């Protein structure tokens, strides 16, 4: 990836700037626009602005590829091209190179960030599901019940043509993280009230068995007394063949926490594989001392 990016920069630089002799003068010796009377002069003969001429000179005079990449990014901004080099833009803001080239002006915005791959995906609303948005509070109602969640202020949620769209309000590290998370939580709410979620657990061990009594799940997992786990509202637990537990519900967060709580009562151990595990979980096994001696 690094080599591909380097080649792309070199090809772009050759296309953007005509081939001319390399300047041997140091970068500090180049006169910056905004600090002299020549900076307000007319554009160059080839139609480039004084800022672009200065950036081109810096590009050809520098032997540091990092600085050349930054100047290339700045030239792209001057030419009105969209650029998504977050590392370069962040360094350009901190280094003060932007103020030096622009002469202290703030005419060109440098906040150009990529959208979250998950957050930019719209959330379709199926038939039979209604969504009510009140500021940051979102309430979703469907055949299996209703769910509500208060989202953070970093995102805004809108309903357009039976589709939920999430947008970031600010460009910060926290808002970028909340963008994808909020979209996934909202999608889980829509799927939960329309289809529901389900998790399956398996008990492995001699004499292990589970029984549902009312709103309690009794687990016989090798201890003197059975472990009792309360089943929360909105969660349904079904036991098949004494060792297969199926839990279902509309709230994916509550369902995941309950399944993790049941598994934590007897986590699978690596030697014999005894314990409670998810149906699709793969337990890494270790060989015992007897197995090592046999070898």
What DSSP line would sit under 41-63, residue for residue?
A: SPPPTTS--HHHHHHHHHHHH--
Same domain, 93 and 15: yes
- How many angstroms separate the CA atoms of 107 and 33, rounded? 14
Q: Within a domain: residue 289?
A: no
Q: Within a domain: residue 114?
A: no
* Opening angle at CA 257, ends 254 and 258, nearest 5: 85
Q: Please check whether residue 288 is in contact with residue 271, taking contact to mean a CB–CB distance below 8 angstroms.
A: yes
Non-local CB neighbours of 83 within 8 Å, separated by 6+ positions:
73, 76, 77, 89, 112
Q: Which tokens belong to 209?
A: 């068995």
Same domain, 233 and 264: yes
CATH number of the domain that 188 lies in? 3.90.930.12
**Domain interval for residue 12:** 7-102
Per-residue pLDDT of the chain (295 residues; tens, 9 = 90+): 554 565 455 545 544 444 343 333 344 444 444 444 444 445 555 555 565 555 555 555 544 445 555 555 555 554 444 443 444 444 444 444 444 444 444 433 434 456 788 888 999 999 999 999 999 999 999 999 999 999 999 899 999 989 999 998 888 888 888 999 999 999 999 999 999 999 999 999 999 999 999 999 999 999 999 999 999 999 999 999 999 999 999 999 999 999 999 999 999 999 999 999 999 999 998 887 777 777 6
Same domain, 234 and 261: yes
Query: CA nearest 191: which of 155, 157, 142?
Result: 142
Is this model's pTM higher than 0.85 or not? no
């Amino acid at each position: 990836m690094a080599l591909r990016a380097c080649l792309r920069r070199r090809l772009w630089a050759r296309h953007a700037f005509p081939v001319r002799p390399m300047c041997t003068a140091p970068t500090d010796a180049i006169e910056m626009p905004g600090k002299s009377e020549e900076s307000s002069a007319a554009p160059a003969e080839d139609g480039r602005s004084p800022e672009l001429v200065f950036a081109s000179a810096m590009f050809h005079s520098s032997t540091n590829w990092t600085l050349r990449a930054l100047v290339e990014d700045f030239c792209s901004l001057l030419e009105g091209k969209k650029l998504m080099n977050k590392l370069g833009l962040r360094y350009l803001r901190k280094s003060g190179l932007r103020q030096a080239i622009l002469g202290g002006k703030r005419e060109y915005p440098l906040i150009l960030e990529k959208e979250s791959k998950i957050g930019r995906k719209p959330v379709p609303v199926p038939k039979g599901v209604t969504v009510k948005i009140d500021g940051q509070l979102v309430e979703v109602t469907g055949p299996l019940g209703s769910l509500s969640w208060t989202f953070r202020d970093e995102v805004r949620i809108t309903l357009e043509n039976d589709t939920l769209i999430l947008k970031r309000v600010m460009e910060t590290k926290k808002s970028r993280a909340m963008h994808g998370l909020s979209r996934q939580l909202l999608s889980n709410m829509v799927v939960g009230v329309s289809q529901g979620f389900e998790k399956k657990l398996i008990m492995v061990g001699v004499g292990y068995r589970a029984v549902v009594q009312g709103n309690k799940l009794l687990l016989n997992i090798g201890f003197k007394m059975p472990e009792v786990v309360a089943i929360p509202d909105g969660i349904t637990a079904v036991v098949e063949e004494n060792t297969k537990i199926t839990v279902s519900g509309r709230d994916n967060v509550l369902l995941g926490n309950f399944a993790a709580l049941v598994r934590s009562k007897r986590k699978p151990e690596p030697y014999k594989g005894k314990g409670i595990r998810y149906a699709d979980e793969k337990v890494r096994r270790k060989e015992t001392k007897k197995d090592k001696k046999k070898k």
